[in-house]
């Protein structure tokens, strides 16, 4: 046993596999002889998780119950891309891009307040994905403070947040990460 969140399996040739539980499972209390069965039961148990995916101009927020997405909202907002112009124009475009990204993050925070905050007490974890800086900006909103303690360490690498990506994120957030060590 590694910790309350992971177990180690060892093959006869000495290869080990560390199985890390998905967000929201909590510590897994196991006895030595039923370690794997208890781990699998905890991983497969349905749990309610919040999802927050964001990039500079798009955001997706959802609540999953088990492996089903029960509520969601996806929005996009225009954020100007980088420009090759130089001098004053480049600085002006950079300021405009920063202001648009900030407005997009504020809108995403409003969306998270509407969808995730009412569910905060029933969520086992909040799983985030996309651009870390954008996610941190969104979660810095003081209204979202109740979500910070349940934010999972796992950060999903996702494409531009769309509904299909949000649905796929439910599966990704429930996955068991396995780390193999070859002797």
Supply the DSSP string of 32-57, one letter for each residue: GGGHHHHHHHHHHS--EEEEEEEETT
Residues 21 and 110 in one domain: no
pLDDT of residue 105: 80
pLDDT of residue 25: 85
Three-class SS of residue 16?
strand
pLDDT of residue 121: 93
The residue segments making up the domain with residue 21 are 6-44
| Domain annotation covers residue 167 | yes
The total of structural domains in the chain comes to 2
| Domain annotation covers residue 182 | no
How far is it between the farthest Cα atoms of the chain? 69
User: Which CATH number belongs to the domain containing residue 109 in this structure?
Assistant: 3.30.420.60
Residues 97 and 126 in one domain: yes
Residues 40 and 52 in one domain: no
- Residue ranges of alpha helices (H) inside 4-131 are 35-44, 87-115
Q: State the Cα angle at 45 between 44 and 51, rounded to 5°.
A: 90
Residues 38 and 62 in one domain: no
Give CA torsion, residues 18, 21, 23, 27, to 10 deg: -110
pLDDT, one tens digit for every residue, the chain (183 residues): 455 567 888 889 999 888 888 898 877 665 555 677 878 888 888 999 999 999 877 889 999 999 999 999 998 765 555 555 556 666 767 777 677 777 778 888 999 999 999 999 999 999 999 989 889 999 999 999 999 999 999 899 988 888 999 999 999 999 988 889 888
- Residue ranges of alpha helices (H) inside 59-174 are 87-115, 132-139, 163-174
Residues 98 and 154 in one domain: yes
Residues 141 and 64 in one domain: yes
Residues 128 and 140 in one domain: yes
| Domain annotation covers residue 140 | yes
| Domain annotation covers residue 95 | yes
């Amino acid at each position: 046993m590694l910790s309350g969140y992971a177990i180690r399996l060892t093959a006869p040739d000495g290869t080990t596999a560390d199985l890390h539980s998905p967000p929201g499972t909590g510590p897994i209390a196991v006895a030595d002889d039923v370690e794997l069965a208890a781990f699998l039961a905890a991983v497969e148990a349905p749990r309610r998780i919040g999802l927050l995916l964001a990039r500079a101009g798009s955001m997706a927020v959802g609540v999953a119950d088990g492996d089903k997405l029960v509520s969601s909202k996806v929005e996009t907002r225009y954020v100007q891309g980088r420009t090759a112009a130089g001098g004053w124009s480049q600085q002006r475009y950079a300021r405009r891009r920063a202001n648009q990204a900030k407005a997009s993050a504020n809108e995403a925070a409003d969306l998270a307040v509407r969808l995730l905050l009412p569910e905060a007490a029933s969520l086992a974890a909040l799983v985030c994905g996309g651009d870390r800086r954008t996610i941190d900006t969104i979660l810095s909103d003081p209204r979202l403070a109740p979500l910070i303690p349940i934010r999972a360490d796992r950060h999903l690498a996702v494409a531009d947040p769309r509904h299909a990506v949000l649905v796929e994120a439910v599966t990704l957030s429930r996955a068991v990460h396995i780390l193999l060590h070859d002797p």
